[in-house]
Structure 1
Amino acid sequence: MTALRGITSRGLGVIAAAGGLLLLGFRFGYPDLALLGAAACVAVVCGVVFAVWRPRLGVERAADPDRVARGEAARMTLTVRNTSRLRAANLVAADRCGSATVPVPLLRLRPGKDTTVEYPVPTSRRGVVQVGPLRVTRADPLGLLTLSRTYGGSTTVWVHPRIHLLRAVPAGMARSLDGRIDKVPHGTITFDALREYVIGDELKRVHWRSSAKVGELMVREQLDTSEPTIVVLLDDRRSAHPGRDPESFEAACEAAASIVAAAVREDLPIELHLVSGPARGPFLDVLTEASLSDGDLTTTVRSLRQNRLGDTLVYLTGPGGRGDLGAVSALRGPYPVVIVGLLGDPDAAPVSPGGGVIVIEAEDGDRFAAAWDGVRGW
């Protein structure tokens, strides 16, 4: 809980008048002026005592839900309780909700009682909305001094990018009776780790050298590196999304979120990377926090080429990324399927990079989903 003090302009005037009246009254022998100056001093002292009184309040807040897609409804429930045993609270309070403030009525809040306020959280823009803390302001009756204190903590509401339904199976995958079939060579079983032997393990997987060192049977864990994986590369460079508040970047975030949701729904492995760096944390939260930066696409492309994170690469960029399609298309070697999503530039001439690269041009996320489902022969 913090306190912010402020003397109003009226308070400064009364203090100055009190000093002047006392000086004139005592210096030149005018008792009436001295009396007025003393009365002004008493008013200032009383105002300080009134404003400094600290109400005892308990604050609880809950967001329903705390993670929501852009444009969907989210509500905040704020409960304020007067924990004092003697005095009722009659305060002016406001709750911070993003960049806005929400008035909270605390009129005649009796000791031990509480009041509950509900209000909507703005979800018109993607991002992290900080709600709270509650600020309570007290002022003396004469308006000489105001004092603001904050109560309780803050709550975070995550406004995720809007997700559009992708009916098509994510690129590079096909179904069969035996499961999924990818476009990478088979026979890519490789060593992953060692673990203790469990009854039922095949003896041919026992690593005898390590077992001799440890004194227990150790079994090789093997990993099938040919498991189909989709890699989504979101271009978060300022140069790729020109403008002060580019809608192309919002559309690219929506496209990325839609692909992530489709992969999760189909139980397919997926990796999310930004040009500025790899995604750390839940992918939808990463896309919620994503902002434009000064990343280096050349370094990112080199890393993707060396590490080869999957078999399908989806590159999502804006109008400023058209000139970099050649560098991304060069990844067609290590990634059997390369898809490029150009967002936010509907009037530009169509792009055809060739080399088996699939290009999807769309103005926004909704049109991207329709174009994605319209692609044939992934």
Structure 2
Amino acid sequence: MIRLTTRGAGVLAATAGLFVLGHWAGYPFFLAIAGAGAGTLIAAIVVTGRRPRVAVSREVYPDRVERGRPAVATLRVRNPARRRHGAFTAGDRVGAATRTVGIRALGPHAETAHNYELPTERRGRHQVGPLVLERADPFGLGHRRLTTGETATLWVHPRVHVMSPPGGGRPRHHHEGAAVDDRLRGSNDLREVREYVRGDEIRHLHWKATARTGSLMVRDYVDPHQPRFTVLLDSRLRGPLLEEAVDTAASLVSAAARADRPTRLVSSGGLDVDTGGGPRAVRPLLDALCVLEPSSGPALVPEVLTRSGVGGLAVVTAGGGPADRAAVAALRDRYSPLLVFVLGEAGTFGGIPGAVVLSVSGAADAARRWNALGR
């Protein structure tokens, strides 16, 4: 939609006034001036509403990048017509910011590419594009914002520090009651029959189910001797403190997943990502942390962690009250080892029996302290 400038609004008001005055008083001169003003406004609408006839596409490489690492966008503009297209200036949206791009004149069916660096200082999922064009008429009466072209997505992951993989936790058989999660895989205990996904072992194919459903089906087994590593992130934090906590959690789950450990990421705000481990598990874990927002709930420990527990647990927080300490202390019989990373002073978390409490200044310090434990 066209927006009139201050000058354009003045011309519109003067045109209306002269038209009324000329029509009421019978002065053709005023009507002629009003007609000229109306014609100028119509021409401004036509000029500003004209959309450049170009095809716009873009690529982002890499599409997932660690916070602070370089990422580049390639903007391709092609003239599909058989006539020459004039040069124009546009802005390419990158999240909430706009990058100015000057597009040179293009001959028939010609194409040009523009490369520019993307900002990666802020964690999150950022939309790149569409191309935004600010069109204005030569008289400055109006302007219009037009968008064209496709969009791409840039995932800025948390910063991952090198951590040694977590050691093996306390194995617990899945028949020991409801306290143990039944989603572990790998033994001769059948959990379910599910559809085949790439990477499953052929020897686990269930031929009867395959014939019945028409799709490849495999047996999914439980491994009671393969405890998972769980990270609990305190998402009640805000600002830089939350970013350091997210970086710490990202470093922990990345180390565990890359070591082929079943890895689970839980936040106090309701996030729950459970993976089977392996390099492929790192992306969904980091994607979840990429879009994590602060939560407002009062509790540090979600109820889901009090119902099941297998393997080790690392809690990433910045301190809390006696209720938080009691909730974490209640988990020590379900998880082994139990570690608490406290950003700042340990405070009320100091001295939890059976737990290792580490006071750290940030994610880098947490990685250093974790590696020093030799887990």
| Range of TM-score over shorter length | 0.7 to 0.9
Secondary structure of 2:99's partner? strand
Deviations 1:264-319 (Å, cap 9, x if unpaired)?
2322111111122243480000011111112353771x4223222x2101111123
1:233 aligns with 2:198: no
Deviations 1:161-185 (A, max 9, x none): 1010113x314x2xxxxxxxx4235
After superposing on structure 2, the runs of 4+ consecutive aligned residues of structure 1 that deviate more than 4 Å are 185-189, 219-222, 348-351
Q: CA deviation at 1:341?
A: 1.0
Q: Which residue of 2 aligns with 1:291?
A: 293
Q: Which residue of 2 aligns with 1:176?
A: none
Cα distance change on mapping 1:324 and 1:272 into 2, 3 Å: same
Whole-Å separation in 1 of the counterparts to 2:68 and 2:193: 48
- Measured in 2, the distance between the counterparts of 1:299 and 1:126 equals 24
CA gap of 1:8–1:322, structure 2 versus 1, over 3 A, is farther
Query: Is the contact made by 2:5 and 2:140 (CA closer than 8 Å) also made in structure 1?
Result: yes
Change (3 A) 1:49 1:232: same
Q: Which residue of 1 aligns with 2:171?
A: 184
Instruction: With the length of structure 1 as denominator, give the TM-score of the two structures.
Output: 0.80
Structure 1 residues 105 and 6: alpha-carbon distance in aligned structure 2, compared to 1, 3 A threshold: same
The gaps in structure 2 that reach 5 residues or longer are 176-186, 195-201, 213-217, 274-282
Partners in 1 of 2:288 and 2:221 — Cα distance? Answer: 31
Q: Which residue of 2 aligns with 1:44?
A: 41
2:254 to 236, 252, 261: 261
Q: How many residues align?
A: 339
Of 289-298 and 311-320, more deviation after overlay is shown by 289-298
Where structure 1 has 5 or more consecutive residues not aligned to the other structure, the ranges are 174-181
Give me the identity figure in percent: 36
The answer to whether the aligner puts 1:140 opposite 2:132 as a matched pair is no
- Residue in 2 aligned with 1:12? 9
2:60 to 47, 60, 63: 63
Residue identity in the other structure for 2:263? I
Match of 2:342 in 1: 342
RMSD: 3.1
Call closer, same or farther: CA 1:41–1:222 in 2, change over 3 Å.
closer
Partner of 2:70: 73
Q: Any residues of structure 2 matched to 1:146-161 within 5 Å, and which? A: 146-161=143-158
Cα deviations across residues 198-256 of structure 1 (Å, max 9, x unaligned)? xx98xxxx9xxx99xx9xxxx9865221212101111112xxx2xxx522211111111
- What is the alpha-carbon distance in structure 1 between the residues aligned to residue 322 and residue 120 of structure 2? 31
Counterpart in the other structure of 1:363? 361
SS at structure 2 position matched to 1:286: helix
Cα displacement (A) at 1:331: 0.8
How far did 1:87 drift? 5.2
The equivalent residue for 2:223 is 224
| Paired residues of 1:329 and 1:353 also in contact (CA < 8 A) | no
- One-letter identity of the residue aligned with 1:125: R
Q: How big is the shift at 1:31?
A: 3.9
